[in-house]
Structure 1
Amino acid sequence: MLVVRDTETKGRGVFAAQDYAQSQVIEKAAVIVIPKQQVKLITKTVLTNYYFGWHGESGAIALGVVSLFNHSYHPNAFYVKKFAEQVIEVIAYRYIREGEEITVNYNGRVDDLSPVWFDVME
């Protein structure tokens, strides 16, 4: 179970409403695939901060709360894109306690320290 609420520094975030064991699936969300011809259009809207790069040069908007997880270079979860199923799964990287904010690394790998398009607040 998940709760969306304000954080102290990052705007809204997603928080655990229960404990999650390492490797447990936290959320599985269907996506709306954005054709590569339309990705440039989405980058000119507020949705630019909420879409995922998808297969090839296309994009995807995850339904549910998956697009609301905040970024961290020290995340407690990671996401897996399942192209054939058109879903994204968020999985606990380590044990997560009830009440803890759940974060992912927007670069796709938990240890990827590449810069993102905004100033990161840890």
Structure 2
Amino acid sequence: MRTLRGSSNSVCATGGVNLTRRCGRRREQRIDSPVVFSHLRVAESPTGAGRGVFAQRPIERGELIERCPMLIVDGAQGDALTEGADGYVFGWGDSSTALALGYGSLYNHHFDPNATTTEAGDELVITAVRDIDVGEEIFINYLGTAVDPDAVWFDDVVTP
């Protein structure tokens, strides 16, 4: 069991995978976490792009894959986040920087993706644009709908 100390100096114990939490004198409560998905897994991508997100079961076209809460920061904090987590952050709005929580920052890029992203308030919503097979890597297009290879800011990798 891990022990976490919050900003109010309260000590909370989390029960790991059983997703329970005890804080102070409160009774044990279930923690609903968007990070734990039985239909997804993170593994090394065969494209050479590092880790990627893969389907653990068939995912149908139009199905919600994940709702990722976004950690959104501006100014110097955004610069620091970009420097510390380069390759995992997004531009958000006109001048903000965001880190997708859950698996959101681990989806790899493809110009012909099998999933799409939509900004919904302070969440990134990932939805299948076609049927996805078990074991298939889930890709998004980092540029939205653009298909210009010269527009990407990262090194090309082999795409399946």
The reply to whether TM is greater than 0.5 is yes
Structure 2 unaligned blocks of 5 or more: 1-38
Deviation string for 1:79-112 (max 9, x for gaps)?
A: 11112xx111110011111110000011122xx1
Question: Which of 60, 76, 79 in structure 2 is aligned with 1:21?
Answer: 60
Normalising by structure 2, report the TM-score: 0.68
Large movers: runs of 4+ above 3 Å: none
The 5 Å alignment of 1:57-68 reads 57-68=95-106
Is 1:32 paired with 2:71?
yes
Per-residue CA deviation, residues 5-63 of structure 1 (Å, 9 max, x unaligned), is 01222211100011111111100111111124432232322x12111111221011111
1:78 pairs with 2:116: yes
Question: Whose RCO is larger (CA < 8 A, sep 6+)?
Answer: 1
| SS of structure 2 residue aligned to 1:38 | helix
2:156 partner amino acid: V
Could you tell me the percent identity over the aligned residues?
A: 36
Letter in 1 for 2:51: R
Please say if 1:113 is aligned against 2:147.
yes
**CA distance in 1 between partners of 2:55 and 2:61 (Å):** 13
CA RMSD between the two structures: 1.3
Matched with 1:41 is 80
- Contact 1:20–1:97 (8 Å) recurs in 2: yes
Secondary structure of residue in 1 paired with 2:78: helix
The question of whether the paired residues in 1 share the 8 Å contact of 2:82 and 2:97 is answered with no
Judge conservation of contact 2:58–2:134 (CA < 8 Å) in 1.
Answer: yes
